[in-house]
Amino acid sequence: MESDFLSQLNDQQREAVSNTEGPLLILAGAGSGKTRVIAHRIAYLIAEKKVAPWNILAVTFTNKAAEEMRLRVQRLLKDHQLSSWPVVSTFHSLCVRILRQDIEKLNDKYTRTFTIYDQDDSMRLIKLCLKDLGYDEKQLAPRATQSAISSAKNRGEDPEAFAARAEFTDDRQAAIARVYKMYEERLHTNNALDFDDLLIKAVRLLRNVPEVREKYNNKFRYILVDEYQDTNSLQFALIGFLTEKQQNICVVGDEDQSIYKWRGADISNILNFEKHFPNTRTIRLEQNYRSTQTILDVAGAVVKNNIERKGKNLWTSNPRGDKIRYYQALDAEAEARWVANKIVEHRREEFDTRAAVLYRTNSQSRVFEEAMRRAGLAYNIIGGFSFYERMEVRDIIAYLKLALNPNDSIALSRVINSPPRGIGKQTLDEIERRSKDLELSLWETISLVIKQPENLSARAINALRSFRRTIVRLGEMAGTDMGSAASDEAVQAGMWSVKQPDEQNVDEHVSDSDSPVSDIVRAAILDTGYETALRSEKTDEADGRLENLQELVNAAVDYDEQGLEGLRDFIDHSALVSDQDAYKRDAAVTLMTAHSAKGLEFPIIFIVGLEDGLFPHSRSATDPAELEEERRLAYVAMTRAERFLYVTHAMKRRVYGEELASEPSQFLNEMPLDLIDDLSLGKSWLSFARGLSTIDYEHDEHRKEKNKYTGKTYDSAESIAEFFKQRNQQMGKTSGTSVSATSWKQKPRPQEPRTPPSTNTGSEGFVPGSYVKHSKYGRGLVLRREGAGESTKLTVSFPGYGQKKLVEKYANLERA
How many Å apart are CA 509 and CA 82, to the nearest integer?
19
Please identify, using beta-carbon distances, which residue of 258 and 318 lies nearer to DNA: 258
Please identify, using beta-carbon distances, which residue of 476 and 659 lies nearer to DNA: 659
Q: Which of 226, 531, 569, 629 is catalytic?
A: 226
| Beta strands in 434-544, from DSSP E residues, in sequence order | none
Between strands 281-285 and 602-607, the pairing is unpaired
CB of 480 to DNA, least distance (A): 26
Please identify, using beta-carbon distances, which residue of 344 and 546 lies nearer to DNA: 546
How many Å apart are CA 511 and CA 566, to the nearest integer?
6
H helix intervals, 230-311? 233-242, 268-271, 273-276, 293-303
Q: Which of 12, 35, 146, 666 is catalytic?
A: 35
Radius of gyration from C-alpha coordinates of the chain: 29
What's the 3-state SS for 365-405?
Answer: HHHHHHHHHHHCCCEEECCCCCHHHCHHHHHHHHHHHHHHC
CA-to-CA separations, 415 to 33, 398, 411, 748, in angstroms, rounded: 47, 7, 7, 62
Is residue 118 annotated as a catalytic residue, yes or no? Answer: no
How many Å apart are CA 175 and CA 136, to the nearest integer?
11
Assess contact for 546 and 534: CB atoms under 8 A.
yes
Please identify, using beta-carbon distances, which residue of 511 and 578 lies nearer to DNA: 578
The secondary element (H helix, E strand) that includes residue 28 is strand 24-28
Is residue 108 annotated as a catalytic residue, yes or no? Answer: no
Q: Which residues pair with 25 in a beta bridge?
A: 251, 282
Query: ∠ CA(436), CA(441), CA(447), 5° rounding?
Result: 105
Question: Number of C-alpha atoms within 13 angstroms, CB side, residue 497?
Answer: 12
CB of 452 to DNA, least distance (A): 18
Which residues are near DNA by CB under 7 A? Answer: 61-64, 90-93, 118-119, 137-138, 141, 143, 195, 259, 262-263, 360-363, 366, 383, 391, 417, 420-427, 460, 576, 578-579, 592-593, 595-596, 617, 619-620, 626, 654-657
Question: Number of C-alpha atoms within 13 angstroms, CB side, residue 601?
Answer: 18
CA nearest neighbour of 546 among 326, 711, 745, 395: 395
What is the 8-class DSSP label of residue 106? G
CA-to-CA separations, 17 to 57, 357, 520, in angstroms, rounded: 15, 33, 45
Is residue 322 annotated as a catalytic residue, yes or no? Answer: no
Q: Which of 257, 427, 445, 480 is catalytic?
A: 257
CB of 810 to DNA, least distance (A): 27
CB atoms within 10 A of CB 44: 22
Is residue 67 annotated as a catalytic residue, yes or no? Answer: no
CB of 611 to DNA, least distance (A): 12
Q: Which of 219, 640, 727, 779 is catalytic?
A: 640
Q: Which residues pair with 781 in a beta bridge?
A: 771, 797
CB of 244 to DNA, least distance (A): 24
Q: Which of 12, 13, 34, 785 is catalytic?
A: 34
Please identify, using beta-carbon distances, which residue of 90 and 447 lies nearer to DNA: 90
Please identify, using beta-carbon distances, which residue of 291 and 427 lies nearer to DNA: 427
3-state secondary structure of 282: strand
Assess contact for 630 and 620: CB atoms under 8 A.
yes
Is residue 640 annotated as a catalytic residue, yes or no? Answer: yes
CB atoms within 10 A of CB 373: 12
Q: Which of 157, 227, 256, 392 is catalytic?
A: 227
Please identify, using beta-carbon distances, which residue of 715 and 752 lies nearer to DNA: 715
CA nearest neighbour of 380 among 64, 62, 31: 64
CA nearest neighbour of 217 among 355, 55, 390: 55
Please identify, using beta-carbon distances, which residue of 77 and 416 lies nearer to DNA: 416
CA nearest neighbour of 257 among 227, 300, 290: 227
CB of 51 to DNA, least distance (A): 26
CB of 78 to DNA, least distance (A): 27
Q: Which residues pair with 643 in a beta bridge?
A: none
Query: ω into residue 501 within 30 of 0, thus cis?
Result: no
CB of 424 to DNA, least distance (A): 3
Residue type, 29: G
CB of 395 to DNA, least distance (A): 13
Q: Which residues pair with 88 in a beta bridge?
A: 58
Burial class of 242 by CB neighbour count within 10 A (0 to 12, 13 to 18, 19+): buried
CB of 143 to DNA, least distance (A): 6
3-state secondary structure of 353: coil
Please identify, using beta-carbon distances, which residue of 322 and 369 lies nearer to DNA: 369
Is residue 35 annotated as a catalytic residue, yes or no? Answer: yes
CB of 606 to DNA, least distance (A): 17
Please identify, using beta-carbon distances, which residue of 138 and 310 lies nearer to DNA: 138
Please identify, using beta-carbon distances, which residue of 119 and 726 lies nearer to DNA: 119
**Cα-Cα-Cα-Cα dihedral sign, residues 445, 446, 449, 451:** negative
How many Å apart are CA 784 and CA 451, to the nearest integer?
62
CB of 736 to DNA, least distance (A): 35
Please identify, using beta-carbon distances, which residue of 117 and 644 lies nearer to DNA: 117
Q: Which residues are catalytic?
A: 34-35, 226-227, 257, 640
